[in-house]
Amino acid sequence: MKNLIDINKETATYYSDLEKLVISAFLFGGDNYGETVVGISTDIEWMENQEGYSMVVHLEEKDGHTSTSGIGLYPKCMHGTPEKDMLTFYSSGVVFAIIPTIGMKKTLNKVHKSFDIEK
């Protein structure tokens, strides 16, 4: 198994579910070369040309240098049936796709309105 971050009780309450998924996408994605995850940027960027979001994972390499890795989040909206909306996580390839929670949709919609949210 690749180098995993220790998600203890304190860490688990610190990171949102979306941030935990972004970290997981890095850990299981193709850009992981054994670095240790030391944090995640709270900024979410909308990539207009790719029609997706980007979040940055902060890393520490084996020799102590720091680096970052961008994780792509790509929405697929099923207009009229929002319970079937998908969010695909990408790190040098598709890592996994989930059905995002209302909270995740609200967070992402603050950056760019991608999801219809029923009231």
Dump pLDDT digits (tens) for 34-77: 899 999 998 999 999 999 999 999 999 989 999 999 999 999 98
Instruction: Tell me the residue range of the domain where 40 lies.
Output: 9-109
**Residue 99: inside a domain:** yes
Two tokens at 36?
């240790």
pLDDT tens digits for 28-39? Answer: 998 888 899 999
Average of per-residue pLDDT across 3-13: 48
**Residue 70: inside a domain:** yes
Predicted confidence (pLDDT) at residue 2 exceeds the cutoff of 70: no
**Residue 75: inside a domain:** yes
- What band does 99 get if pLDDT is binned at 50, 70 and 90? very high
pLDDT value, residue 119: 53
Number of domains the chain contains = 1
Q: Give the integer Cα–Cα distance in Å for 24 and 4.
A: 9
**Residue 116: inside a domain:** no
- What band does 9 get if pLDDT is binned at 50, 70 and 90? very low
**Residue 66: inside a domain:** yes
Q: Give the integer Cα–Cα distance in Å for 28 and 31.
A: 8
**Residue 4: inside a domain:** no
Q: Give the integer Cα–Cα distance in Å for 62 and 10.
A: 24
**Residue 119: inside a domain:** no
Q: Give the integer Cα–Cα distance in Å for 90 and 107.
A: 18
Q: Report the length, in residues, of the chain.
A: 119
**Residue 115: inside a domain:** no
